[in-house]
Amino acid sequence: MKVLRFYILYRLQFIIVLTGLGILSHIYYDAVTAWICYILAAISLVLYFMLGTMRIVQEAVAEGNVEAATSYIKKIKFPRLLFKPVRSGYYMLQSNLAMATDDLTSAESNIRKSLNTKSSIIGNMKGENLLQLGFIQLKKGNHKEARLTIVEAVKAGITDKEALSMAYLQLCSLEIQRTQNRIAKDYFRKAKALKPKSEELVKQIKTMEKQIARMPG
């Protein structure tokens, strides 16, 4: 894994070295070795532009290392050339990292770019992207806009049960604020029925259940 990380980080240098070796082989050795170097350099060049450093960015995010993830993602200089599914993930991660630093303007801009990058290869990520956009709007204080966006996210489809349960809980909270108790209770039932396992969500459901029990309607 360390070797792969090293290769991904210094892929451009590998391309330069392989090209140089190819030229030297052509002059002083043989054409076969030269073409092997050229082909490896060409493959690395394609990977450099189409995949970038996204693999190690995702690993850093999974490990909770925001500083490393930010450093790795900055090495991607041409995001528009990334393979479409990778590009969508790039913008989503950029949005996540911006949210971690409370840069909500950048977070919203990047998640909208992710929404506009559609790919049939990884399926429809519209629901997940819209959900993130909804949470960004909430943090910005745009509750009405956020409610509509999260409703749209649920309709678009959210494959992760934990994320869907979170969406329903948030909609429940927003409907309580609007004193739409019946709708709020319906959203709560849907959130609870998904049986989320996240400690934070379980805690929120227990707290919300006490509030729901006291509500008329």
Residue 59 belongs to some domain of the structure: no
Q: Are residues 144 and 184 in the same domain?
A: no
Residue 104 belongs to some domain of the structure: yes
Q: Output the pLDDT for position 124.
A: 62
Averaged pLDDT for residues 161-165: 92
Q: Are residues 155 and 69 in the same domain?
A: yes
> For residues 82 and 90, is the Cβ–Cβ distance under 8 A?
yes
**Among the listed residues 66, 58, 18, the one whose alpha carbon sits nearest the alpha carbon of residue 42:** 18
Q: Are residues 138 and 76 in the same domain?
A: yes
Q: Output the pLDDT for position 69.
A: 86
Residue 139 belongs to some domain of the structure: yes
Q: Are residues 77 and 115 in the same domain?
A: yes
Domain around 21: 1-50
Q: Output the pLDDT for position 63.
A: 83
Residue 129 belongs to some domain of the structure: yes
Residue 216 above 80 pLDDT?
no
Instruction: Say if pTM beats, i.e. exceeds, 0.85.
Output: no
Residue 55 belongs to some domain of the structure: no
Domain count, the chain: 3
Residue 127 belongs to some domain of the structure: yes
Residue ending a domain, choose from 9, 28, 50: 50
Q: Are residues 73 and 139 in the same domain?
A: yes
pLDDT tens-digit readout, 190-204: 999 999 888 888 898
**Number of other CB atoms surrounding residue 86 within 10 Å:** 21
Exposed, middle or buried, 64 (CB in 10 Å: 0-12/13-18/19+)? Answer: exposed
